[in-house]
Amino acid sequence: MGAGHAHKLYRHGHSPVHRLPAHCKLLAVLGFVLVVVSTPREAVWAFGLYAVLLGTVAAVARIPAGFLLKRLLIEIPFVAFALLMPFVVPGEQTEVLGISLSVPGLWGAWNILAKGTLGVAASVILASTTELRSLLLGLQRLRLPSLLVQIASFMIRYGDVIADEMRRMSIARRSRGFEARGVRHWGVLAKSAGALFIRSYERGERVHLAMVSRGYTGTMPVLHDVRATRAQWSYAAALPVTALAVCLLGWTL
């Protein structure tokens, strides 16, 4: 997690995708993923089209393929799960290269791989083209409860501060010759975690004082109310609507 406006995934840029208001992009991605998830897995070609759609968006946003592919690694645990399915799922068996595989298992594996990958790719594109603050504002614009958005903002704002404190504690431990090597050292680490909690909580109390001192009454003033133009909405809608068309074809064909 980076600080304030930048985070791990965000890639600075000025592409049309970068310029879209965050709430449009959030809705577009959500709509796209919903459509993908609802597509029958037998329509293999549909998933190919989805991938092409996402590839187009990534190209417009100038996200390098390598970056996108590397971020897809996050779903590896589920790839492993998917790869097991053909072996464990009961049902009709088929022979591939002399190995007996379950047909429903193969479909299941394909289903998870295709939908999961498309979902992660869509999220990665969203996160790499949208600044953290805009994302938070977008969530607010989408009528997420304001308190929830505030909590998220504070988490983002102080995530680094707390991670820094954790790093300093670790340096302090190591400079006194402590190196955590095994279960025996968990007590020391847990003490650090406990101290970290106390510091975080107390900081929360101080932040609250600072807020109240400046007139906080439970709501955050909305300063940058980004409104999307109709053109921006239709631009953002291009992805999910095209996907929906593909999906409907998938159901009918």
Partner 1 sequence: MHVPDGFINTPVSVAAGVVAAGAVAVSLRGARRELGGSPAELPGADRTAPLAGLVAAFVFAVQMLNFPVAAGTSGHLLGGALAAILVGPFTGVLCIAVVLLMQGILFADGGLTALGVNITVMGVVTVLVAYGLFRGLVKILPRTRRSVTAASFVAALVSVPAAAAAFTLLYEVGGLTEVPIGSVLTAMVGVHVLIGIGEAVITMLTVGAVIAVRPDLVYGARGLSAPLKLRVGGELVDAPAAAGPAPAAARSPRRLWLGGLVTSLVLAGFVSFYASADPDGLEKVAADNGIDRTVEEHAAADSPLADYGVKDVSDARLSGGLAGVIGVGATVALGSGVFYVVRRRRSEDAGPESVQGSV
Partner 2 sequence: MNVTPPPSLDVRGLAYAYPDGHQALFGVDLTVGRGERVALLGPNGAGKTTLVLHLNGILAGGVGSVSVAGLPVGRENLAEIRRRVGIVFQDPDDQLFMPSVREDVAFGPASAGMRGPELEAQVMAALDRVGMAGFADRPPHHLSFGQRRRVAVATVLAMEPEILVLDEPSSNLDPASRRELADILRALDVTVLMVTHDLPYALELCPRSVILSDGVVVADGSTQELLGDDDLMRAHRLELPFGFDPRSVTIGA
DSSP state letters, 8-41: SS-----SHHHHS-HHHHHHHHHHHHHHHHHS-T
Burial call 34-53: b when 16+ CB within 10 Å, e when fewer: ebbeebeeebeebbebbeeb
* Residue 52 interacting entry, from partner 2, partner 1, none, C-beta within 5 to 8 Å by type: none
Q: How far is the CB of 3 from partner 1 (least distance, A)?
A: 13
Residue 14 contacts partner 2 per CB under 8 A: no
Tell me the per-residue interface mask from 176 to 215 with partner 2, x by CB under 8 A, - otherwise: ---------------------------x--xx-xxxxxxx
Tell which one of 11, 41, 62, 157 touches partner 2 (CB under 8 A): 157
Tell which one of 132, 228, 236, 246 touches partner 2 (CB under 8 A): 132
Q: What is the dihedral of CA 198, 201, 203, 206, to 10 degrees?
A: -130
Tell me the per-residue interface mask from 208 to 247 with partner 1, x by CB under 8 A, - otherwise: xx-xx--xxxx-x---------------------------
DSSP secondary structure code for residue 74 in this structure: G
Residue whose CB is less far from partner 2, 153 or 170? 153
**Which candidate, 249, 252, 239, places its Cα nearest to that of 31?**
239
* Residue 9 interacting entry, from partner 2, partner 1, none, C-beta within 5 to 8 Å by type: partner 1
Residue whose CB is less far from partner 1, 52 or 195? 195
Tell me the two tokens of residue 221.
Answer: 């003033």
DSSP helix/strand/coil, 216 = coil
Residue 133 contacts partner 1 per CB under 8 A: no
* Residue 231 interacting entry, from partner 2, partner 1, none, C-beta within 5 to 8 Å by type: none
Which residues fall within 8 angstroms of residue 250, CB to CB, at 6 or more apart? 39, 40, 43, 45, 46
Residue 223 contacts partner 2 per CB under 8 A: yes
